[in-house]
Chain A
């Protein structure tokens, strides 16, 4: 990754003078923080390479916000760092997602995978190439047999009776009247016993 001293001087001036680029710098740093990328030379290299290209693009695309250019170029830098861990057949739109999945899987207290590929064994790298996040296993379809409830003759009779009486139960007034009638009967029959 070749970065010219002239570019660094330019970047320094740019950050100092341009609120737009300062915001872009902050945003990309926040994104790298969210990716748990540790403060290291590798992180700086990602930033410098991305901003170099973003500034270059800005000359040709003056109306595109610096934040957008910087984010896209950072994404490209990440692609170039992690692309070898992603299956070539995965379309471009999904590559960023797959890269982040791999960064997440290798995240530790010391940071993520970025710049640490050399520390990983071939087996781990191979596993990372093959990883496919899947929350549930493949289906092995079965069916649950439902049998309708069959009632006894007494049960059927009870259900029939309940159906006939349900209009009475549906009316609060009738229910109250019946309740009060039962109460009156109980009191009356108990008073004069």
Chain B
């Protein structure tokens, strides 16, 4: 089962570890290590492993439900003091759901903290890594949709160089899978592909494919890759357009797959990098600081039943082909139709088929970008919300394993918890109003309420404190962040920021859930990755309801009781300040040294590359017509499609003529896309424009042509100089 796992699980050799205790009875003498290898994958090992995992899951469940029950009991005490009402009963039910979700997160962080504090986790996939394991044919797959070519190809170049440096390039092929619908972007990608191949001599190694129609979006894009080239590779590593991975991380993933033949997917923990704005840097800092304990805790209980997040992960192609075809969902979008968020579902289907899904949470060298501002963050959430809500169908389906169901529920609750929280707060306000109306204010037993408040506070902020303790216990790690003081200051400001933005996110998540339930679907927009953020007017346009709601709620709360206003003030401050927070956090210059991360202070090589594509400025579609190189590359790549029908050819000719006569803006995006698929007519148009005198063509083309004049020649482009030059040539040619 584990053919190349000579080292086995390192935990096996540690005195006191569970595996040693389990195996001790069967091992003796000098042949111990050999027997360990023999036992790995055996039924005895499998049973021991499963028992240990079961125990871990029970432990997490006990801690989670223990905390929840305690919280429920306290609230029961608080609410019951003034007598029970229907509202209070409903509040208690909602609280149970929300508090369980909160305590589950805390339990995970707490157990992760313990795992990291202990220093060694015997049950993690990276323990099986063997650097001597030969690599296998792997596709690096990057689906893109109207992204910036500099980002996409820069990230590919970074990985390419890293693998080349390690001498491991032979095992990898790179695929940029475009679904871009913007003609300019499509041309830019194509020429960027040619440029990167030319720069790296990567022809035949770096591939580019653009679909005419982006059917089924990203999942359809990857499925199309699998259908075309799935048999060429044993594994595929999926990257997002903003994903960056080091060569070492990528080859480690392949080796992990090779030594774990039951692994269907291994997900890495991407670190957020390259943020420029205050919003981005705060998210980046928080993720870098807090995610290690959450990740260790997640791996602690999920083990081989992990999840897939859609990128920075390796997938075994064969079981993916046989088991991960996405089913259609009952009904229409937004809740039915085609699966929008494919990753969780693919992990569940992979598990169904008997394959393991692991989380390599401590594998270094995996990074991703993030939205630059609150608005873009929220837009991304809108897509994710609809995708996750669709997952409810899988909760009703047969053969989905329990742990996969937990992952799906967690994904759904990430968004549904917002309207539930709003409902809980509104019910609380309504009850408080009714109590005020009846003169029953102040009947809460202070001890229970105080303990419940402290508990909630601990569940919310405890993981942050645990993360700080973990970091400060390792002086080198703290120094990598710029020192303990800077980390502490950053954590305090980040906490304030998260308090301010939480109500904004709750508002938007509530809106998204309600809109989806009302049958409104999302449009598939390109994610903006490098813009600044909303101006004042844009911020007002997007966030104006929030301050109004905040002020109205504040007045109502004051009417109920000044104490009640104080109680919900953190929520109200976030709502009232939503506009300035959205605006100021998109700035780049604020908090210069705060929120530094190790990757920012000491960027690893894969993040510090300064790759530049040699692309022309301006509308890339125009370059596909005019620039001799752009045009040649594009037309040469269309050669395979020359067997077009007469009707298509005539349509292409008509488009080319229209473009010639009416200028570059004459065609719609759809017409431009159609013309781009017609290499013959595009080649004809190129020649036609270059050989036509200026007065016989549209002025825009004449102007565009002069932009190809080299800067040097433009300066000294005078007939006299030409004459002088000809005179100097004369002796040479005479």
Q: A residues within 8 Å of B by Cβ? A: 1, 3, 5, 8, 11-12, 15-16, 20, 22-27, 29-31, 33-36, 39, 41, 44-45, 48, 65-68, 70-72, 75, 93-94, 96-101, 103-105, 107, 133-137, 139-152, 154-156, 158-159, 170, 185-187, 189-191, 193
Contacts and interface: CB of A to CB of B under 8 A. Distances in A.
A69 B719 CA distance: 20
Given A65-B692, A100-B631, A149 B722 contact: no
B227 A11 contact: no
B633 A150 contact: no
B91 to A, nearest CB: 10
B64 to A, nearest CB: 24
B733 A48 contact: yes
A67 B692 contact: yes
Contact of B326 (A23, A135, A146): A146
B66 to A, nearest CB: 28
Given A5-B734, A39-B712, A104 B729 contact: no
Contact of B690 (A22, A31, A103, A185): A31
Contacts of B398: 150-152, 155
Q: Which 10 A-B pairs have the closest CB atoms?
A: A155-B396, A100-B632, A146-B325, A71-B691, A190-B85, A142-B230, A189-B86, A34-B708, A140-B231, A33-B710
A104 to B, nearest CB: 4
Given A68-B692, A141-B231, A144-B324, 18 more contacts: A3-B733, A8-B733, A22-B719, A29-B717, A34-B628, A34-B708, A65-B692, A94-B639, A98-B632, A104-B194, A135-B637, A139-B229, A145-B322, A146-B326, A185-B86, A190-B86, A190-B87, A193-B85
B325 to A, nearest CB: 3
Contacts of B431: 190
21 contacts: A33-B710, A44-B729, A67-B692, A68-B692, A93-B683, A94-B639, A97-B632, A100-B632, A136-B228, A140-B228, A140-B229, A142-B228, A144-B227, A144-B320, A150-B397, A186-B87, A186-B90, A186-B430, A189-B87, A193-B84, A193-B86
Nearest to B709: A30
Interface residues of B, number: 87
Contacts of B719: 15-16, 22
Nearest to B517: A169
A135 B709 contact: no
A11 B86 contact: no
A31 B717 CA distance: 14
B717 A137 contact: no
Given A16-B719, A151-B398, A35 B326 contact: no
A107 B195 CA distance: 11
A173 B231 CA distance: 54
A103 B712 contact: no
B401 to A, nearest CB: 13
A57 B325 CA distance: 64
A186 B423 CA distance: 13
B706 A30 contact: yes
For chain B, what secondary structure do more than half of its interface residues adopt (helix, strand, loop), or is it mixed? helix
A27 B705 contact: yes
A39 B567 CA distance: 77
Contact of A8 (B87, B193, B329, B726): B726
Contacts, number: 224
Contact of A142 (B321, B629, B636): B321
A16 to B, nearest CB: 7
Contacts of B395: 155
A18 to B, nearest CB: 11
B325 A144 contact: yes
B734 A97 contact: no
Contacts of A105: 198
A5 B628 CA distance: 32
Q: Chain A CB within 10 Å — which of B223, B395, B434, B726 has the most?
A: B726
B627 interface: yes
B394 to A, nearest CB: 7
B25 interface: no
Contact of A133 (B88, B636, B709): B636
Contacts of B228: 136, 139-142
Interface in B202-252: 203-204, 207-209, 223, 226-232
Task: Give the one of A31, A133, A144, A154 with max B CB within 10 A.
Answer: A144
A96 B687 contact: yes
A137 B174 CA distance: 11
Contact of A136 (B208, B321, B328): B208
A149 to B, nearest CB: 4
A114 B534 CA distance: 50
A104 B691 contact: no
B140 to A, nearest CB: 14
Contact of A31 (B209, B397, B708): B708
A26 to B, nearest CB: 7
Contacts of B90: 186
Interface in B392-406: 393-399
Contacts of B175: 136
B229 A29 contact: no
Contacts of A33: 708-710, 713
A187 B427 CA distance: 10
Interface in B229-282: 229-232
Nearest to B232: A140
Nearest to A37: B710
B330 interface: yes
B434 A41 contact: no
